[in-house]
Amino acid sequence: MFLVSSCITAPDTGKVLGDEYYNLGNAWFDLKKYDQAARAYQIALTWNPLLKIATLNLARSKAELGDPAAALQLLEPLQTSDPDNLIVAQYRAWLTAKHLGLAAAADLYVDLVLKLPGDAGTQLNAGLCLKAADRPDEALKALEAWKGLDGKSWVGLSALAELLQQTGSFRTAEAWYDAAQALPVGDTGRFAPLSSWAKALEDAELYGDAVKAWEETLAVPEAPDQPRGEAHFQRGKLLLLKIEDYEPGLEALLSAWKADFKDTEAWDALRNDPALKYAVKLEADLKLAGVEP
C-alpha cells in the first residue's frame, strides 16, 4: 500500500479521491439519500474543485432537499464558467422556472433557444416563460416555432391560442383551442386558459361563443383553487343579458352561489344592469332560492 501511494502525486490523489466521492454521491443520489449525496459531492469538490459535474449534482441534491436557492447559487457561477454546457443551462432554467416562477426564467430560456432552436421543449418553455413575463411578441414567436416542430400539448396550444386572441386573431385562436380539446382529457390545468378564452370572446362581443367557452371551462375536472363560482356567474350573466335565455341563466347564477361566489359588487352590477329584462322576476327567484348577495 505504501509503495502504491507513494507513486501517486498530490494532484493525482485529489483527482482519484474526487472521482471516488463523486461516484459515492451518485450512489446515494440514486437511493434518494440526498443528505448523504450532498456530503459526498462536497467532499469530492474539496479534493477536486474542478469537477464541475459534482457541482451540478450537488445543486440537484440541494434542490431535492428543498433548498432551491442554494442550488441556484451553485448553478449561476457554474454556468458562467462554462456557458456552452447545455446540461447546466437547461437545469438552471428549469429550476428557476419551477421555484422562482416562469417569468424569472424568461431570459435563461431566450439564451437556450439561441443554442437549441430545433428543440421543441426548449421553444415551448421559452414561450411559456416569455408569456408569463408579459413579452407577448417574443412568446408568440417561440410558441409558433414550437408548433412548427410538431409540438403537441394542451398547455402549449392553449397559450398559443391566448396570444393569438390578444392580437385579434380570434378564429385562428379558436382553431388552436379546438386542437387542444382533441388532446387527452384529465388536465385540470385547462381551467385557467379556457377561462381566459371565454373572457376574450365576451370582450369581442362573440357572446354565443363565450357561453360555449364557459361551458367547456366548467366541464374541466374540478381541482382546488379553480374560481368555478365566477365561471358559473359569468355564464349566467351572458345568458341573461346577451342571449336573453332566462331559465339556464338563473340556473347558472344559482350554481355560482352554491360554489360560494359572493362578490357583492358583481351581483349588484348584474341586478342593476339596464339591459336586464327580468330584473323583478330574477330578484324574486333568487330570494326564493335563498340567494341574497
pLDDT at 43: 95
Residue 36 CB partners (closer than 8 Å, separation 6+): 25, 28
**Within this chain, do residues 25 and 73 fall inside the same structural domain, yes or no?**
yes
pLDDT at 133: 95
113 domain residue, yes or no = yes
The pLDDT of residue 4 is above 50: no
Domain range holding 34? 8-82
205 domain residue, yes or no = no
Interval 86-100 mean pLDDT:
90
pLDDT at 44: 94
Q: Cell numbers for 58, please give them.
A: 450537488
115 domain residue, yes or no = yes
What percentage of the chain reaches a pLDDT higher than 70? 92
- Tell me the CA distances in angstroms from 65 to 29, 75, 279, one per residue in order: 11, 16, 58
Lowest mean pLDDT among 14-23, 40-49, 55-64, 153-162: 153-162
pLDDT in tens, 75-92: 999 999 989 888 899 999
**Within this chain, do residues 65 and 93 fall inside the same structural domain, yes or no?**
no
Interval 225-232 mean pLDDT:
88
The pLDDT of residue 70 is above 70: yes
pLDDT at 174: 81
- Tell me the CA distances in angstroms from 183 to 14, 126, 144, 156, 248, one per residue in order: 53, 22, 18, 12, 29
Name the average pLDDT for the chain. 86
204 domain residue, yes or no = no
Rounded Cα gap, residues 202 and 205, in angstroms: 5
pLDDT at 170: 80
pLDDT at 7: 37
Residue where a domain stops, chosen among 119, 151, 183: 151
**Within this chain, do residues 95 and 75 fall inside the same structural domain, yes or no?**
no
- How many structural domains is the chain composed of? 2
Residue where a domain stops, chosen among 101, 134, 151: 151
**Within this chain, do residues 109 and 142 fall inside the same structural domain, yes or no?**
yes
**Within this chain, do residues 61 and 101 fall inside the same structural domain, yes or no?**
no
Q: What's the CATH number where 52 sits?
A: 1.25.40.10
Residue where a domain stops, chosen among 52, 82, 112: 82
pLDDT at 166: 84
The pLDDT of residue 5 is above 90: no
135 domain residue, yes or no = yes
pLDDT at 11: 54
Rounded Cα gap, residues 110 and 113, in angstroms: 5
Residue 144 CB partners (closer than 8 Å, separation 6+): 160
The pLDDT of residue 290 is above 70: yes
Q: Cell numbers for 37, please give them.
A: 449525496
131 domain residue, yes or no = yes
Instruction: Please give the DSSP secondary-structure letter assigned to residue 222.
Output: P
Interval 105-123 mean pLDDT:
93
The pLDDT of residue 248 is above 70: yes
The pLDDT of residue 117 is above 80: yes
262 domain residue, yes or no = no
**Within this chain, do residues 97 and 136 fall inside the same structural domain, yes or no?**
yes
**Within this chain, do residues 62 and 49 fall inside the same structural domain, yes or no?**
yes
**Within this chain, do residues 16 and 36 fall inside the same structural domain, yes or no?**
yes
21 domain residue, yes or no = yes
The pLDDT of residue 153 is above 60: yes
